[in-house]
Amino acid sequence: MRLSRYFLPVLKETPSEAQIASHRLMLRAGMVKQASAGIYSWLPLGFKVLRKLENIVHEEQMRAGHIPMLMPTIQSADLWRESGRYDDYGEEMLRIRDRHDRDMLYGPTNEELITDIFRAHVGSYKDLPLTLYHIQWKFRDEIRPRFGVMRGREFYMKDGYNFDLTKEDALHAYNRHLVSYLRTYERMGLQAIPMRADGGPIGGDYTHEFLVLAETGESEVFYDSEITDLRFGEREIDYDSVEQCQAVLEEFTSRYARTDETHDEAIFNEVPEARRRSARGIEVGQIFYFGTKYSEPLGATVQGPDGKPVPVHMGSHGIGVSRLVGAIIEASHDENGIIWPEGVTPFHAGIVNLKQGDAEADAACEALYASLTALGLEPLYDDRDERAGGKFATMDLIGLPWRITVGPRGLKNGVVELTSRKTGESEEMPPEKAIEKIAEIYAPHHRSVAVEPMQQRSFHTWL
Ligand code: ATP
Ligand code: MG
């Protein structure tokens, strides 16, 4: 993309309504624009990041054997009356009446709808196990929408639902989700710690929230500092293996890590004092096993091996896709702007032309642009007729991990400059060498940042 043809409405002033860094930077970098309280338009740069996160979520869900689909945003109140949650959900549910006076609502979550689909189409235990998921907009009429996309009213969420014959099978699905979530967040360059949590209106005894530690987080958390040393990393996992998934769950949940709702001072005090931490965290996901809580009232049964109908065991599993955009920025920025982890960056590298209109500089930039594009990478070329300082400030603000700076002086010596956004370090090298380095950084064998073939295509084509 050439910046002269793009739509990147960066703001010079710091917006006064934004209290935290991610909100400020998303507004300043032209990623979102508030449409009304807690509701945002995603401008091109923000939309690109949102799609990258969505891609990672899809890939990791499908890798775990979960099946993508799409349910609507608007739901009928009837199903929620059947489950008993129409009244329970309270003020957070946006209730709508259609022209025929039917009660409708904008879905805050989808347990009822998915259970209705299941009961209509699945009849036998032989069709299990089954995990279906979708990524769809949700609406919760939050009393205090704030922090930009972190606590919106309309937000984008992956929610998945497992259906199993027995509690044991459903707990394997729970563990499988935990593993796939660990991989998902690590690919986004984040450490999200599973912490024992409270069921809330969704209910259930088995539940973990995934928290990204950040001072601006809304959750209070308590943990054993040893847990921050754990990484899922490059290990291979067989998602069908009950033992392997269970072992990962044990590894990642055996140390003390709880949100304030489940915090237990007596147990916490058994952790050696030097390792006891209390901090703030951003909830970026949650997994639940809730047994037959919805399948019983909604009649989601299958014929068991003995021919008798049994209610299925269920769980639901959510990732806050739009909140993650903010969470990643909270975890990765400095005073000059965002620092995108390579796995989610909207463009792989920026090209800054120090002297637009200079024949040699223009030609060198075009050549770099063509080479990066040929590699399947997306460069953002600042080809505007602007002074260098302004170009650098924009690149720093929007946070691309790598910048190639091209100017007539360097070109005389056959070099361009490659700069890391994270460390600020620059190195002069011939243009081919800069391309080689960037290609290496995004090469497929670096699984955590790889531009996998699937990611290069539009997300519609690979589902
Ligand atoms: P919170 O406690 O932050 O209100 P929740 O526990 O009610 O969230 P879940 O039902 O667990 O939310 O939804 C799954 C995920 O969706 C959450 O982990 C979070 O990342 C995201 N999410 C929930 N509410 C919002 C919101 N208002 N704005 C943006 N993302 C949200
Ligand atoms: Mg939650």
Q: What is the pLDDT of residue 210?
A: 98
Write the DSSP assignment of 187-248 as a string of letters. Answer: HTT---EEEE---GGG--SEEEEEEEE-TT-SEEEEEEGGGGG---TT----TT-HHHHHHH
Is any ligand 1 atom within 6 A of the Cβ of residue 285? yes
Contacts of 297 (CB under 8 A, 6+ apart): 82, 83, 84
* Ligand 1 atom nearest to 319, measured from its CA: 15
Q: What is the pLDDT of residue 297?
A: 86
Q: What is the pLDDT of residue 457?
A: 45
Contacts of 231 (CB under 8 A, 6+ apart): 186, 191
Q: What is the pLDDT along the chain (463 residues), one digit of tens a residue?
A: 999 999 999 998 888 889 999 999 999 999 999 999 999 999 999 999 999 999 999 999 999 999 999 999 999 999 999 989 999 899 999 999 999 999 999 999 999 999 999 999 999 999 999 999 999 999 999 999 999 999 999 999 999 999 999 999 999 999 999 999 999 999 999 999 999 998 776 666 699 999 999 999 999 999 999 999 999 998 999 999 999 999 999 999 999 999 999 999 999 999 999 999 999 999 999 999 999 988 998 889 999 999 999 999 999 999 999 999 999 999 999 999 999 999 999 999 999 999 999 999 999 999 999 999 999 999 999 999 999 999 999 999 999 999 999 999 999 999 999 999 999 999 999 999 999 999 999 987 665 555 544 444 444 444 3
Is any ligand 1 atom within 6 A of the Cβ of residue 158? no
Contacts of 182 (CB under 8 A, 6+ apart): 192, 194, 232, 248, 252
For tokens 């008798």, the residue is: 308
* Cβ-contact 237, 181 below 8 angstroms: no
* Cβ-contact 295, 311 below 8 angstroms: yes
Write the DSSP assignment of 119-166 as a string of letters. Answer: HHH--BGGG-SEEEEEEEEEE---SS-BTGGGB-SEEEEEEEEEEESS
Q: What is the pLDDT of residue 449?
A: 55
Q: Where are the beta strands (DSSP E) in 245-386?
A: 257-259, 276-291, 301-303, 309-311, 313-320, 333-334, 337-338, 349-353, 379-382
Supply 128's token pair.
Answer: 């299990």
Is any ligand 1 atom within 6 A of the Cβ of residue 284? yes
Give nearest CA residue, ligand 1 atom 28: 151
For tokens 């309504």, the residue is: 17
Give nearest CA residue, ligand 1 atom 7: 200
Q: What is the pLDDT of residue 459?
A: 44
Interior angle at CA 411, CA 404 and CA 392, nearest 5: 35
For residue 430, cis peptide bond before it (omega within 30 degrees of 0): no
**Amino acid at position 352, single letter:** V
Distance of alpha carbon 26 from alpha carbon 104, whole angstroms: 33
Question: Would you mind telling me the total number of residues written for the chain in this entry?
Answer: 463
CB count in 10 Å sphere of residue 445:
7
- Spatial CA neighbour of 407 closest among 345, 461, 361: 361
Classify 84 in phi/psi space as left (phi over 0), alpha (psi -120 to 50) or beta: left
Is any ligand 1 atom within 6 A of the Cβ of residue 283? yes
Alpha helices in 254-316 (DSSP H): 265-268
Distance of alpha carbon 17 from alpha carbon 24, whole angstroms: 8
Is any ligand 1 atom within 6 A of the Cβ of residue 281? no
Is any ligand 1 atom within 6 A of the Cβ of residue 200? yes
- B/e letters for 399-424, b = 16+ CB within 10 Å, e = fewer, are bbbbbbbbbeebbeeebbbbbebeee
> Is the full-model pTM beyond 0.85?
yes
Supply 189's token pair.
Answer: 């360059």
From 92, 135, 147, 157, mutation site for ligand 1 pocket: most ligand atoms within 8 A of C-beta: 157
Is any ligand 1 atom within 6 A of the Cβ of residue 106? no
Distance of alpha carbon 408 from alpha carbon 414, whole angstroms: 10
For tokens 């991610």, the residue is: 22
* Ligand 1 atom nearest to 145, measured from its CA: 27
